[in-house]
Amino acid sequence: MQNQDILVVMQKDLERALAAPDTERRWAMLIDLRKCVGCHACTVGCVSENKLPPGMFYRPVHEYEQGTYPKVSRTFLPRPCLQCDNPPCVEACPVKGTDGATWKETTGLGAGLVMINYEQCIGCGECVAACPYDARTMDEGAFHGDGTPAIQKYETMASFEYGRKWPRSGKNLPVGTARKCHFCLHRLVAGQERQAERQADHLVAAEDRMVHRLDERAGPERLQPRRRALRHVVHARAQPVLHGDRWETGRQSGIR
């Protein structure tokens, strides 16, 4: 495995996960902050993949400084939706249930993800306010070309979130709804890696019943099954990282 490109390793992991029974597969993600340089390539790749409007980022990269001069360090923290096991956004939504507006998927190809049904979302914004990680944004229908002589063609191209085609014109859905990272589910079900992973090779695809450890000598290694994660995005780092209003320390966060 040491001599294989990390993207090849992740593609094999994805194929292995897709071949597993639905009951044994729950999507998760590990991000190694020791290798993140804050290039924002994952953010740009996500915006391009999902045709996101201005002000909307499914995968923002936050920056934090630690220490005092002259011993100062900087941490870059990519933070998509953390796909919580007990998501407060789902609890806050007034349109409840798996046939409602948002829910935690536990079966099928989307198991492990917090989903949004744009057709059921009433646009109240309660979930946006409830998310402790600011991972949700309301789509106000804006275009990057607003205020210019013409809207560019790429801004009206359809996205394919949740396996559906969503043309962007007028007030068509998902305009007026809450939106967030969905782990590029439309790519996963097609056997393709998530777009952020294609742009940044420090990301490793993982299943909920196991995570990868980034070992500088041996490369990614399988770990023994762990307890279910409260969050399905794991940050591996050597320094404390700010999550919400608290600092977390240790090599990994997100595992409980």
Which residue carries 């796909």 as its tokens? Answer: 83
Q: What is the pLDDT along the chain (256 residues), one digit of tens a residue?
A: 567 777 788 888 888 888 888 888 888 888 888 888 899 999 999 999 999 999 999 999 999 888 889 989 888 999 999 999 999 999 999 999 878 999 999 888 898 899 999 999 999 999 999 999 999 999 999 999 999 999 999 999 999 999 999 999 888 999 999 999 999 999 988 887 666 555 554 444 333 333 333 333 333 333 333 333 356 777 776 555 444 444 444 333 332 2
**How far from each other are the two terminal CA atoms of the chain, in whole angstroms?**
28
Give CA–CA dist 151/222, Å, rounded: 48
State the number of CA atoms in the 13 A half-sphere of 118 facing the CB: 21
Give CA–CA dist 215/30, Å, rounded: 13
